[in-house]
């Protein structure tokens, strides 16, 4: 008789683009942990059945990605505070009694990426200017507010979506018109792109960056390409920059630790394994 081998994986639709199997597979091999991490292509109509079956199939947990991050909240037994605030989950934990808890580690991943790659960044250095108001943006705003950023200046092409986020997150979030956002960069301590602009196959981010001051930290959630045009221009202007791959890597840490009992490291070897 062999002991059950713990299983984890990522549930999405489609799933071929996910880098999580490479990442968790690398950690499992590197730490010599008995376990498997598999990609699972699950259609929305099948999600409830698949989630319910996870504990009985030997899963210790799973990641959840598009398009299931919001719907999964209604299918689990409990939801952490941070997943509730963000309104979406990316990590499921199967407890010993077979119940499932949903968590969101995207905001954690975002902040840890900045801590690791821009240790000099001070959340109180000035307002954080955030482009976008989609799903990824919610995790960024909540983690920035939690980390002590005093003001978030939020700008989105569709203004009403930014206003909705302001309504939810409160007065520390202020909305700036999309065509005006270039004018508020001067005082920024941090600039974050959470839109898909600048991604391979997507239009360019056309915000004028002339106001960016050297020293302002600039980061992009887009990691394909790794050096987005935003990061290139920022670096030319003397700004420290942090690419978006690190957020993806760091968001995987809490799940791996809970499922497999070891806190994994985010380092260059992992980056190469995921990029390769
Ligand atoms: P995610 O979950 O990755 O944040 P999303 O919810 O689809 O993805 O959000 C995409 C973000 O990119 C939105 O802020 C979107 O702006 P709108 O709310 O106006 O749609 C932004 N975005 C996408 N294409 C854009 C474009 N051509 N110009 C400006 N913003 C764009």
Q: What is the pLDDT of residue 1?
A: 45
- Mean pLDDT over all residues of the chain? 97
Q: Catalytic residue numbers?
A: 69
Mean pLDDT of 170-191: 97
Ligand 1 center to 136 CA (angstroms): 10
Residue 85's CB is within 10 A of a number of other CB atoms, namely 20
Ligand 1 center to 137 CA (angstroms): 10
Per CATH, 7-105+247-275 and 122-239 having the same topology is answered yes
Ligand 1 center to 150 CA (angstroms): 25
Mean pLDDT of 200-223: 96
Architecture of domain 7-105+247-275: 3-Layer(aba) Sandwich (3.40)
Fold for domain 122-239? Answer: Rossmann fold (3.40.50)
Q: What is the pLDDT of residues 113-128, one digit of tens each?
A: 999 999 999 999 999 9
pLDDT at 2 over 70: no
**Atom 8 in ligand 1: which residue has the minimum CA distance?**
134
**Atom 29 in ligand 1: which residue has the minimum CA distance?**
157
Task: Report the distance separating Cα 227 and Cα 220, nearest Å.
Answer: 9
Q: What is the pLDDT of residues 161-176, one digit of tens each?
A: 999 999 999 999 999 9
Domain boundaries, the chain: 7-105+247-275, 122-239
Give the ligand 1 atom nearest the CA of 203. 27
Alpha-carbon dihedral of residues 253, 257, 263, 264, nearest 10 degrees? -50
- List the strands of the sheet with 61-64, edge to edge: 36-41, 7-12, 61-64, 91-94, 100-103, 78-79
Task: Report the distance separating Cα 228 and Cα 197, nearest Å.
Answer: 9
Pocket (CB within 6 angstroms of ligand 1): 132-137, 156-158, 161, 194-197, 203
Within 13 A of 205's CA, how many CA atoms are on the CB side?
Answer: 31
């Amino acid at each position: 008789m062999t002991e059950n081998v713990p299983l984890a994986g990522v549930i999405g639709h489609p799933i071929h683009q996910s880098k999580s199997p490479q990442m968790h597979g690398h950690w499992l091999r590197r730490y010599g942990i008995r376990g498997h991490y598999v990609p699972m292509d699950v259609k929305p109509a099948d999600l409830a059945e698949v989630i319910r079956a996870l504990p009985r199939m030997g899963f210790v947990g799973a990641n959840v990605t598009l398009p299931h991050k919001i719907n999964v909240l209604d299918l689990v037994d409990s939801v952490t505070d941070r997943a509730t605030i963000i309104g979406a989950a990316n990590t499921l934990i199967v407890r010993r009694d077979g119940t499932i808890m949903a968590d969101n580690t995207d905001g954690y991943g975002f902040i840890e990426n900045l801590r690791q790659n821009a240790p000099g960044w001070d959340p109180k250095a000035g307002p954080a200017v955030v482009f976008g108001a989609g799903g990824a943006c919610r995790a960024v705003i909540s983690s920035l507010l939690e980390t002590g950023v005093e003001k978030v200046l939020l700008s989105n092409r569709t203004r009403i979506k930014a206003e909705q986020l302001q309504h939810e997150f409160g007065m520390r979030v202020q909305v700036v018109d999309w065509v005006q956002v270039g004018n508020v960069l001067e005082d920024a301590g941090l600039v974050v792109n959470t839109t898909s602009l600048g991604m391979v196959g997507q239009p360019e981010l056309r915000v004028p960056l002339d106001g960016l001051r050297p020293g302002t930290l600039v980061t992009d959630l887009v990691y394909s390409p790794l050096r987005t045009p935003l990061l290139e221009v920022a670096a030319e202007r003397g700004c420290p920059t942090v690419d978006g791959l690190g957020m993806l890597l760091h968001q995987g840490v809490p799940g791996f630790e809970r499922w497999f009992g070891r806190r994994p490291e985010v380092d260059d070897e992992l980056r190469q394994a995921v990029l390769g």
